[in-house]
Structure 1
Amino acid sequence: MNFDFSDDQKFLRDEARKFLEAQCTSADVRAVLDDDAMSHNDEVWQKIVEMGWLGAAIPEEFGGLGLGMLELCVIAEELGRVLAPVPFGSSAYFFAEAIKLAGTEEQKAEFLPKVADGNIVGCLATTEGPGALTASSVQTVAKDGTLSGTKVPVTDGDIATHAAVLAKEGSGAGIYIVALDQDGVSRKALKTIEPTRSHAEIKFDGASATRLGDETGNGMTVLDQVMNRGAVLLAFEQLGGASRCLEMATEYAKERHAFGRPIGGNQAIKHKLADIYVKNEVARSNAYYGAWALSTDAAELPEAAAAARVAASEAFWFASKENIQTHGGMGFTWEVDCHLYYRRAKLLAVQAGSPAVWKEKLVSALEAKNAA
């Protein structure tokens, strides 16, 4: 059995890497970091839109490329390698997947083509602050086609044109699509450790909203499915970042000389690089398992998504930390790019649920599997 990507998917990966290395450089990432007025790099975003990647997993009948989830995983990994400062994940991993999973045919025809061509930038608005997210804890209320409440933090919430919002609906919860340019919506940008991926607080005050799909009270079920799919894609982003950290550390260890020899010849440095490699390979194995489950819609997806998310979060954080240590004093400076990867590692680790949340989901999935 072949668990690797196909030749066509590897070709897509290679071409995406060439494109991003040329069009999304460290300078493009730093442009957002250095300018408080920039929430993302719009020039890079428009180039990605032109490539059609937003529609990679959107069916052709709805304006996408119709390639599939494996191709989206490949693209996600390459975006993670360059720390792309764009709202790609919010639109393609979460908003579009919510529409695909739960939307009516009319909603798919209305929203998906606009996501694919970049006219809609979507986001997923679920959390309302610290604490576990449950149907009973949701305070945002849907009533008579309107929403009232506050969501914080919302990844790319200050950039997005539309949001998929989790709201209380009777005794359960539903997901509603809200246009964010209306009078009943106010937004405030939030400061985080990683300014190249923006976050916002969004307040709804009688904002017009449309329920996603026809079924009422199914919001938590749909959200769980969306999160599982998004977790695999985020894991590939994290894997891309972790892989680049290993490359950076290895390159520096070969070039930096101390006492007349490369520092990579020192056993302590060798062990650091070997430890990064091992964690990255564990993460890659779990990410590939997740990609298989995602692309085949397998029953193992909850288990595979949680495993991929936990392993990738650990690998990226560890790789970014050890990359700084390998660079020594230089690694702590603003001019060297190590801190860019450390920032992104810390941010992605808590996006869509912290490692602790996903560890709990993994345990629950394994218990359910063993009880079956």
Structure 2
Amino acid sequence: MNFDFSEDQKFLAGEARKFLSAQCTTAHVREVLNDKAKSHHEGVWKQVVEMGWLGTAIPEEYGGLGLGMLEMCVIAEEMGRALAPVPFASTAYFFAEALKIAGSEAQKSDILPKVVSGEVVGCYASSEGPGNPDPAKLSTSFDGSKVSGTKIPVTDGDIATHAIVLAKEGAGASLVLVDLNGPGVTRTPVETLEPTRSHAEIKFDGAPGQRIGEAGAGGDLHDALLNRAAVLLAFEQLGGADRCLEMATDFAKERYAFGRPIGGNQAIKHKLAEMYVKNQVARSNCYYGAWALSTDAAELPEAAAASRLAASEAYWFASKENIQTHGGMGFTWEVDCHLFYRRAKLLAVQAGSPKVWKEKLVSALERKNAA
């Protein structure tokens, strides 16, 4: 069985890489990093919208390209490789996917075309502080028409025009669509290790909201959404990890010490080899996740957790060893290594830490073995 991408999907990846290599360089990333007034790169974001990537997995009847989740995985990998400082993941992986799996026909017809056009920038507000969000212990509430409570940190919450909020409703939890430019919403930027992907604290004080999906179904919808987003985030991590390996390899070939390239030293060879192995393990798991996501397979919870864990480990290791390979200069502000290390640390905890996904993987395997 061939789990590789098709020729058309590989062509899409190549074109995305060409575009991002020219229009989203580390210089663009540093523009956001060095300017505290910027939460994202507006120029890059405008071009991403114009490329139609936000509509990659959105059906044609809602203004999208109607391609599918495999194509979204391909683009996610290239976005991760480029460290794109834009709210693509929040809008495409979380917000749009939540609407696709739980929104009513009216909600999808109204909002999804605006996502494709860039008029709507979305985010997913589930966290209420340290720890994994537990639908059974939420303080944010929804009374059927209004939302009250505080969510922190919310990725791209300061940029977004709309949010999907996980809130308590009655004895259960629900997903709620909220216009962040409407009444009852206060947003405050939150500083993190990785300023090129912004975060915010969002306070809701009787903010008008529309339920997404059935009342009380928020817990199950939250888990389903995270499984889908986890695979896409894993591809972002895979793209970043592969770029770190390339950077380290290129430097090891070009940097001379004692009259020869440092890549000739056994210690450096071992670093690069271990980076390669971890990246290949991550790629195998990501492809498994992509298959499960694209076919809506019963194995998706297991595949999502496996891809997330492998990609988190690979990206963290590759970004760390990339710095080490560059030696003393690898730690400096001027060298790009730290840009990838920052993103690796952030993505490792977005949508749940490795500990959370290890527990998810164990639970998925236990259910599978008990069946």
Q: How far, CA to CA, are the matches of 2:183 and 2:167 in structure 1?
A: 19
Once the two structures are superposed, the pairs formed by residues 32-181 of structure 1 within 5 Å of their partners are 32-181=32-181
Q: Secondary structure at the match of 1:136?
A: helix
Q: Is the 2:286–2:307 contact (alpha carbons within 8 Å) kept by the matching residues of 1?
A: yes
Q: Is the 2:135–2:166 contact (alpha carbons within 8 Å) kept by the matching residues of 1?
A: no
Partner of 1:237: 236
> Is 1:216 paired with 2:215?
yes
Q: Where in structure 1 do 4 or more consecutive aligned residues deviate above 4 Å?
A: none
Q: How far, CA to CA, are the matches of 2:193 and 2:70 in structure 1?
A: 30
Q: How far, CA to CA, are the matches of 1:55 and 1:182 in structure 2?
A: 25
**What is the letter of the counterpart of residue 366 of structure 1?**
L
Q: How far, CA to CA, are the matches of 2:95 and 2:200 in structure 1?
A: 16
Q: How far, CA to CA, are the matches of 1:117 and 1:309 in structure 2?
A: 30
Q: Is the 2:152–2:201 contact (alpha carbons within 8 Å) kept by the matching residues of 1?
A: yes
The runs of 5 or more residues in structure 1 that have no matched partner are none
**What is the letter of the counterpart of residue 155 of structure 1?**
T
Q: Is the 2:132–2:352 contact (alpha carbons within 8 Å) kept by the matching residues of 1?
A: no
Q: Deviations over 1:107-157 (max 9, x none)?
A: 110111111111100000001012332222101111140000000000000
Q: How far, CA to CA, are the matches of 1:91 and 1:115 in structure 2?
A: 8
Q: Deviations over 1:13-59 (max 9, x none)?
A: 00000000000011100000000000000100000000000000000
Q: How far, CA to CA, are the matches of 2:187 and 2:46 in structure 1?
A: 23
C-alpha root-mean-square deviation of aligned residues, in Å?
0.6
> Is 1:273 paired with 2:277?
no
Shift of 1:183: 2.4
**What is the letter of the counterpart of residue 51 of structure 1?**
M
Once the two structures are superposed, the pairs formed by residues 259-338 of structure 1 within 5 Å of their partners are 259-338=258-337
Q: Secondary structure at the match of 1:57?
A: coil
Q: How far, CA to CA, are the matches of 1:133 and 1:175 in structure 2?
A: 13
What TM-score, normalized to structure 2? 0.99
What TM-score, normalized to structure 1? 0.99
> Is 1:246 paired with 2:245?
yes
Q: Deviations over 1:221-261 (max 9, x none)?
A: 11100000000000000000000000000000000000110
Partner of 2:5: 5
Q: How far, CA to CA, are the matches of 2:135 and 2:355 in structure 1?
A: 20
**Aligned-residue identity in percent:** 74
Q: What is the aligned length?
A: 371
Q: How far, CA to CA, are the matches of 2:18 and 2:318 in structure 1?
A: 23
Q: Secondary structure at the match of 1:202?
A: strand
Q: How far, CA to CA, are the matches of 2:244 and 2:302 in structure 1?
A: 27
